[in-house]
Chain A
């Protein structure tokens, strides 16, 4: 699932949508757009910030596009997906019940972030490699019984603890009490929200006005998906 969402922390995403962003920065005539200060009625700007951009800022953004969208030095560089990622994703799909683990199109990066966080737990360094290798050899589906519990072959204390940690990080973006959130994008991708059929609290993407008065149907009115975007 890909939401209509632009991560403004992401150079690639901003570059790809630069012209759309420039268009949406054009201010509305006073009161002409009931949705906000942009002249494009469908633009749901989050956060609203302090209102319309001043013209000199818009001109600066336009000049940046004209100059070829030069990349600066980012504050945060996400990790490069490493060799564990494919097996980690395959196992995670089984454990979570989700075939589509991300909503921002960054599943490999997100997987590496979670691997790093899981491995960084004190005294837990080498266990993940062994578990992933064992699950691959046995077949990832064989990790669970049909009733959703852990199969006997993976039910050792250390393995089941690790399977829980992997599941919980995808669902809640937490490892223990640690949200470990470079640029907050982990929280909003927590699978729990999609399981609940609702958006992450503080991040609704629905652009049907007053969507909450409707019973969700067909994936709409959950706050998860803009109605005019592919689900």
Chain B
């Protein structure tokens, strides 16, 4: 192995890749990051593109074409039409499942942290043991206490503003306080909190609490404090919100600088069939040339969908029965158990002005339904309070202006007043549901549809619930519970419900359960496609995120999560990446 090009090759310049690269480079390792997409050095370009975009999806500021294609939010209509790509990135996924997969990611330096919201929640201790406690999902091969030091390190690395007492009162212990004071609650949060706190719904007492966020409330890590631009998704204009370019810059500034090579699309992991050792990763540069690079350790950090796709495109061996086995897949689980936090989005008009469209997109949430005994029956969920009026579900204020002018024929000062009076009372919440791991939900390389290089596009077969599988309706039961709960919260908070479910056939996210129509939206939390576990036959990686099948290959990111829990995944992704970095560093020292 002494002739390897690098100590470590990392595939993907998102948060996992950036944190691992920086940790290892700081310890003197020679690190290469291969990134499929382009560099994101010029923030103004993204801001201009965001301002200019007619529909401001999470992907709006980022390159939609080029040689590292990525999905965009599926809109109404024919979301199953893979032939529409490459003209329309909404069809990059080849969707073959019964339900629409609504979440997306970015293929640029910084990865999907370019467009993430910044919410940095920890898991509950019970989230790691849901099989033992609730008979649902797989237990993680670790306890909360094992991960806690890494949560703390992650919070200081990426810079999280929060109030640890919010967690501690519900049993999520912190060994250190957050590095920054919490992001203050919006006016809207404060009004709702006054009306809801202390009331009991469905056996749970409500507390509207500040959300821990990777968003500066002080000058931290050479980045400014948040100025409330209200565009965290898709782009923070001043980088008060953490994104992974922060650690990419650190990694290339180390005494042994990491190398970041963009426009390099990895499509195969090379394995020595007899020893099982990974011997290289092969990539195509955007000029079409193909290269293989070697290292002592390899890390796939290319997002839950692209990483699984790379594994499934990499031949390894033929088993005793004559079946072809792909890399890291002796368990057969690579690409399987695709999950997402789906959201029930609800919106309404308050009986008093809340003044939305100001501040970070969300500053508070309700955690009461994230934990508890009911999880033996139905999915848990977190309730996020929005600060952006009806912008997410309806496209307001643009659409509201259109409705007033075109629909009601209003102009002049009457128009201005009507728009004001409606908009200042708008509120939106999202009930983000725990998912369940289903065999009917998976990704694989498309046999038919390829990208510009002839690399298969991801075939996404997504299913939100499957009555044929054990606990297969767990998430659906959660929707029923969430849909029965939120109108009670609205009523208590003086909010008139304006939520509408688009029942037009073909609407992405539309499903029927026990005769009731529901509509979900993707949260961008793609989970579970190379799960970690305690044994090689029931998982792809061990608790160090090392492949059971290949001791020099690590898989990181939310693909390793056995279950989704209810926390936005990024903080846990970061904590696990830092853990993996230490394991890799120890490997390199021992070699």
Contact = CB atoms under 8 A, between A and B. Distances in A.
Nearest to B409: A149
- Most chain A Cβ neighbours within 10 Å, of B56, B223, B411: B411
Interface in B464-515: none
Contacts of B293: none
Interface residues of B, number: 68
B111 to A, nearest CB: 18
The size class of the interface chain A forms with chain B is 35 or more
B484 to A, nearest CB: 31
Interface in B35-70: 41, 43-44, 47-48, 50-54, 56
Nearest to B185: A213
Interface stretch (B257-265, B397-405, B443-451, B570-578): B397-405
A229 B583 CA distance: 54
A192 B419 contact: yes
B411 A184 contact: no
Interface stretch (A53-61, A66-74, A104-112, A173-181): A173-181
A214 B190 CA distance: 10
B238 A45 contact: yes
Contacts of B50: 202
A181 B416 contact: no
B412 A96 contact: yes
B164 to A, nearest CB: 19
Interface in B195-230: 217-219, 222-230
Contacts of A215: 187, 353, 355
A193 B397 contact: yes
Given A36-B224, A215-B355, A196 B47 contact: no
A168 B54 contact: no
A219 to B, nearest CB: 13
Interface in B220-248: 222-231, 235, 237-240
A144 B412 contact: yes
By DSSP majority rule, is chain B's interface helix, strand, loop, or mixed?
Answer: loop
A54 B483 CA distance: 55
Nearest to B420: A195
Interface of B: 41, 43-44, 47-48, 50-54, 56, 183-187, 190, 217-219, 222-231, 235, 237-240, 249, 353, 355-360, 363, 387-389, 391, 397-398, 400-402, 405-406, 409-417, 419-420, 423-424
Given A47-B43, A197-B424, A223-B228, 18 more contacts: A44-B224, A47-B237, A48-B224, A49-B43, A164-B406, A168-B405, A192-B419, A195-B419, A196-B397, A197-B420, A200-B51, A207-B227, A210-B217, A211-B228, A212-B358, A213-B184, A213-B359, A223-B229
11 contacts: A35-B225, A50-B41, A149-B410, A164-B405, A184-B52, A201-B391, A202-B229, A202-B237, A213-B190, A216-B355, A223-B229
